[in-house]
Amino acid sequence: MLKLWLFLLYDIVNFNYRPASKDVYGRRGFLRLLKRMVNLIKSFFAIPLSESDKTEFTVSINRVNIARAKVTTITFVVLEVMMLVIHCRTYRGNLFDAPYIYYGSMYVLMLVSMAAFFIIFNKLGADVPKHVSAISRAGAVFISFILAWCGGISLLDQLSGGEVIVYVVAVIMVAITPLFRPIVLFFVYSAVHSAFLLAMHHANLSRENAINATTVVIMAWAIAYMRYKKQAEDFNNKKLILQKNEELRLINMQLQEANRKLEIMSTIDCLTGVINRTSFEAAIKEEWNRCKRHSIPLSLIMVDIDFFKEFNDNYGHQAGDSCIKLVADVLSFSARRSSDKVARYGGDEFVILLPYTNKENAMNLAEQMRKGVEEKQVPHSFSDVSDYVTISLGVNTVIPSDETSIDDFISNTDRALYKAKEKRNCSV
C-alpha cells in the first residue's frame, strides 16, 4: 500500500511542475496520472494466478467457503434460538417496548435469514463447479447481511451502553473465516461500513467508536487480503509441486523403460533376437544345477552354417547377416518350449539348450532344424555340399552329476559338431 501512495505522490509532484499555460498538456498529464493510478490499483489487487488456474482456484475456495458458510448458518441459528429464549424470559413484560422489540426483531430476522442461507448454500454446494458465479454472489450477500445485522445490533447497543463490540467481532470474523477476493471484500466493507458510519452520525453517536470501528475494518481487510494472497500463492506452489512430481514420474518411467531396454539388450543378440553368449552361459549353469538335483537329462545342440565364410565373401556382409538371422529364426521356430534356449554362440555358430530332453529327442530336433534351414533354399553357389545354405549340428546329452562338468559337456558337444562339419549338412 505504501508503494502505491509513493508512486501516486511522485506523479502528482511531476504533474504540478508541468507548464500551466499549456492546458492541453495538463489534461494529457492528468489522464496519464489517472491511468497510472488505475493500473497501480489493479496491480495491488491482482492475485498471482494465471488465467488457466483462476477457475480451478475459485472452485477450490468456493468449496471451502460453502462448508464454512453452512457451519456459520447452523451456529447462528442455534445462537439466535438461545438468544430468543433468553430474551423472552428476561424481558417477558416488556417484549414490545423499545428497545426490546428491536432486539427481538433482529434475532428473528437473523434466525429466518440464516435458515434461508443454509438452504441456498446447501443447494449450491451440490455442484460447486457449476455454480461458481452464484456461490460468489451469494457469499458476498451473506457476509454483507452479517455485517449489516451486527452493525444494527451495535447501533442498538450504543444507544443503551455505548458499545460496538458485536460489529467489530463480525468485521474480524468475516476477514478470517471465508476467503473472498480482496476487491470484493473491499467493496463489501466500504458499503456496509459507510452505512454504519452514516447511521452513527445520524444518531449522533460516539465518534471514538466510529474511529475505532474504521481502524478495525481497515486492519481486517488487510488481514483478509494477505490470507487470500497467501492462499493463491499456496495454490500456485501446490500446482508447481504436482507438475514437478508428474515430470519426475514421467522421467522415472522413461528411465525404467530405458533400463529395461538396456537389460534386454545386454541379454539379447541384436542381429538375431536370440539370447547372446553371456545369457547362455548363465542359463546353462542354472539348468545344469536343476537337472543335477532331479537326475534328468540335459541336451545341447551346437550349430554351424556350412561354408559361411565363402557365402559372406561372395554375397557380401549384408547378405551374410540376413543368412544368420534366417538360421536363427528356423532354430527358434523348432525349439518352441519355454525351457528351450537358443543362443548365438559367436559368428555363425548357435547353441540350443534343451532341458528334460533325451538323446533321441535331441537328435530328432536337430534333424528338424537341419531340414528347416535347407527348405528355405537360400542360394549358396559356393557350397561344396549343396546349392543352398545348409547347417551342421553336433548333439550331446548328459545327466549332470558330480562326475561331469559343464565344460566337459560343452567340449563333447563341440567335438560332435566338428565331426558333423567334416561331413557337412548333417547331425552327429
CATH assignment at residue 416: 3.30.70.270
Domain-located, residue 217:
yes
Q: 34 and 53 share a domain?
A: no
Number of structural domains the chain divides into: 3
* Per-residue pLDDT in tens (0 to 9) along the chain, 428 residues: 444 444 444 454 444 444 444 444 466 766 777 777 766 666 666 666 777 778 888 899 999 999 999 999 999 999 999 999 999 988 887 888 888 899 999 999 999 999 999 999 999 999 999 999 999 999 999 999 999 999 999 998 888 777 789 999 999 999 999 998 888 999 999 999 999 999 988 888 888 889 999 999 999 999 999 999 888 888 888 888 998 999 999 999 999 999 988 887 788 998 999 999 999 999 999 999 999 999 999 999 999 999 999 999 999 999 999 999 999 999 999 998 989 999 999 899 999 999 999 999 999 999 999 999 999 999 999 999 999 999 999 999 999 998 899 999 999 999 999 999 998 888 88
Alpha helices in 297-358 (DSSP H): 308-315, 317-334
Domain-located, residue 169:
yes
Per-residue CA distances from 14 to 17, 26, 102 (Å): 5, 11, 55
pTM over cut 0.85: no
Q: 346 and 363 share a domain?
A: yes
Cell of 283: 542359463
Domain-located, residue 272:
no
Q: 284 and 415 share a domain?
A: yes
Domain-located, residue 412:
yes
Q: 129 and 224 share a domain?
A: yes
Q: What is the pLDDT of residue 377?
A: 94
User: Positive or negative CA dihedral for 232, 234, 239, 243?
Assistant: positive
CA 319 to CA 304: how far, in whole Å? 17
Cell of 407: 565344460
Q: 30 and 64 share a domain?
A: no
Domain-located, residue 262:
no
Point out which residues pair with 397 in neighbouring strands.
Answer: 299
DSSP annotation string for 182-250: HHHHHHHHHHHHHHHHHHHHHTT--HHHHHHHHHHHHHHHHHHHHHHHHHHHHHHHHHHHHHHHHHHHH
Q: 26 and 56 share a domain?
A: no
Cell of 92: 417477558
Rg of the chain (C-alpha set): 46
Q: What is the pLDDT of residue 46?
A: 67
Q: What is the pLDDT of residue 408?
A: 94
Q: 20 and 54 share a domain?
A: no
Q: 19 and 106 share a domain?
A: no
Q: What is the pLDDT of residue 316?
A: 93
Q: 71 and 152 share a domain?
A: yes
* Chain segment 351-382, per-residue pLDDT in tens: 999 999 999 999 999 999 999 999 999 999 99
What angle, 0 to 180 degrees and rounded to 10, lies between the N-to-C axes of helices 277-294 and 406-423? 120
Q: 214 and 307 share a domain?
A: no
DSSP, res 272: T
Domain-located, residue 340:
yes
For residue 301, the SS3 value is strand
Domain-located, residue 256:
no
CA angle, corner 35, sides to 33 and 38, nearest 5? 110
Domain-located, residue 261:
no
358: containing domain: 277-423
Q: 349 and 300 share a domain?
A: yes
Residue 90: enclosing H or E segment and its boundaries?
helix 51-90
Q: 28 and 53 share a domain?
A: no
